[in-house]
Amino acid sequence: MENKHLAALVVTLLVIQVFANCIFLSKSQAQTTPEVYVGIDISYGSVDEAKNMIDKVSNYTNLFVVGTTQITWYQNRLTETFQYAYDKGLSFISLTPALSDTSFDNNPSKAEWFEHAKEAWGDRLLGFYYLDEPGGRQLDAAQNWIGPNITTIASSYTDAADQFTSAIGRNVERTKSYTLNASGYPVCTSDYALYWFDYQAGYDTIFAEFGWNLSRSINVAMCRGAATAYNKDWGAIITWTYTEPPYIESGPELYEDLVFAYDNGAKYIIIFDGNEGWTGGILEQEHHEALQQFWDYVHNNPRNTTPVDERTAYVLPSGYGYGFRGPQDHIWGLWEADDFSHSLSLSVGSLLRDYGETLDIIYEDSPQSADSYGYKQVFSYDSYSPPSPKISILSPENTTYTIGNVSLTFTIDKQTTWIGYSLDGQEQVPLSENTTLYNLADGPHNITIYATDQFESTGNSETIHFTIDPPDPPEPFPTTAVIIIATSATAAAVVAVGFAFYFKKRNH
């Protein structure tokens, strides 16, 4: 009986120990910093609307961005929203709040508020968002927007860069030291250009915007490259595709963008939910389904981000604030694109084609030398040229042909915008596909194929030398032999007639 009680006690202790371990494991896992933050940026409405969205997405997100000024400009509303997100297990970011000591007489001071924030929410308060799209606004200033912190006059590219980083940097530093009360919380923003200079100005995290018809690959290469050089975090935010309803892309397209950001190493992946005027949301059921599907993807596909030593870096010149959005883009919003920017764009396009998602774009004034980051290979703007198309001629070969019709077949290793051939050094003839060369004259010939790719790089094949040498025609039957045969036949006929006449006469 005592043995049974002892056995029961041992089992009970084991169960308690396992239960305790499970609780400890659960807590330790909950406190572990997530590898990726996935969430919604709500840019409209009240605290109640924010809570409704938190309720809706909390099962398939771990981040909530409070982007509406109706919430963040008042300390008590922000506190209520943060606490609600915290209770739902989410981390959170907010627009920079107006946390002044005189906002409300009954509110605590900024210092007390931040002390409360650290005690109540710890690391779940990830930082604050300040000054939307500083780089993009600067780049487009010459076209449609002039405002604070925009450089309007500069003597050179480096002067424009210095003015931009100084103006933005002063405001970022002021936000960190005064508005955020030197609390140490990171400051972030989203942008669609000039990421390098945003980090130079002092931002801790930049969210690359996926929207419009902008290249996701170029934006990732530039934002991730800058974050790597400055040892900062980076993310992606899916924004508008259209300037009118439905504003955002379809659910399937949204899912593809989410996966693209995740597979390329974004630490933050956010969907912007706000219409023009910030009066309501734009996300439909298909977008929430895409987010749920992505949440499952994240949990079923451990991230295998390409490490630096397997990536390629392309180095741009210091201070060159170009957006790479097309041939009409501007430099710092002040200068028109030129031949140099056109050449850089072709080089970036070629590198993206060859290296795809493993390409980073950095600048030559990086905190360390480009070679010191551990990239697999580094190309510089002043030495790299897009490789020419490689062309192989399969036919004709270096041989002799007995007929004057010869097939012309070839292969090219990349897409082209123009193909042509030159026969016997003559003018190049445009060509679109394999063909046949007809009625070639007897004798030696040579042929070379040329091709130009989309990056304006022209290559040529090796020159093939071949000969047309038809066989000699059969010798004609001799004329004299025919005559002799004919004469012999005639003589035989005469003799035959003579004999017939002779025998006829004798018989008579």
Read off the pLDDT of residues 437-466 as tens digits, 9 standing for 90 and up.
Answer: 999 999 999 999 999 998 899 999 999 999
- 139 residue type, one letter: L
Instruction: State the pLDDT at residue 203.
Output: 98
Tell me the mean pLDDT in the region 347-373.
95
Instruction: Using alpha carbons, select from 224, 211, 342, 433 the residue that is nearest to residue 350.
Output: 342
Stretch (H or E) spanning 50: helix 47-57
Question: What's the mean per-residue pLDDT of the chain?
Answer: 86
Q: Output the CA torsion 241→246→251→254 (10° steps).
A: 20
CA distance 38 to 290: 12
pLDDT-based confidence at 479, cuts 50/70/90?
A: low
pLDDT of residue 70: 80
Map residue 90 onto helix, strand or coil.
coil
| 62: its two tokens | 């771990």
Q: What is the pLDDT of residue 475?
A: 75
pLDDT exceeds 80 at position 61: yes
Task: Give the sign of the dihedral formed by CA 372, CA 369, CA 235, CA 113.
Answer: positive
Q: What is the pLDDT of residue 93?
A: 97
List Cβ neighbours of 416 (8 Å cut-off, separation of 6 or more).
Answer: 389, 451, 452, 453, 454
In this prediction, residues 28-43 reach a mean pLDDT of: 77
- pTM, to two decimals: 0.81
pLDDT at 480: 52
Q: Is the pLDDT of residue 72 over 60?
A: yes
**pLDDT tier for residue 143 given thresholds of 50, 70 and 90:** low
The 10s digit of each residue's pLDDT in 228-264 is 999 999 999 999 999 999 999 999 999 999 999 999 9
Q: Could you confirm whether domain 391-468 is CATH 2.60.40.10?
A: yes
**What residues contact 123, with CB distance under 8 A and at least 6 apart?**
33, 91
* The two three-digit tokens of residue 28, written as one number: 């330790």
Q: Enumerate the domain spans of the chain.
A: 33-306, 313-380, 391-468
Residues in CB range of 322: below 8 A, 6 or more apart = 316, 329, 330, 331, 337, 341, 344
Distances (CA, A) of 401 to 58, 389, 465: 75, 29, 11
The alpha carbon of residue 229 and the mean position of all alpha carbons in its chain are separated, in whole angstroms, by 19
Q: Are strands 63-66 and 37-42 parallel, antiparallel or unpaired?
A: parallel
Q: Are strands 359-363 and 377-380 parallel, antiparallel or unpaired?
A: unpaired
The domain 33-306 is classified under which CATH number: 3.20.20.10, 3.40.50.2300, 3.20.20.80, 2.70.70.10? 3.20.20.80
Span 55-71, average pLDDT: 93
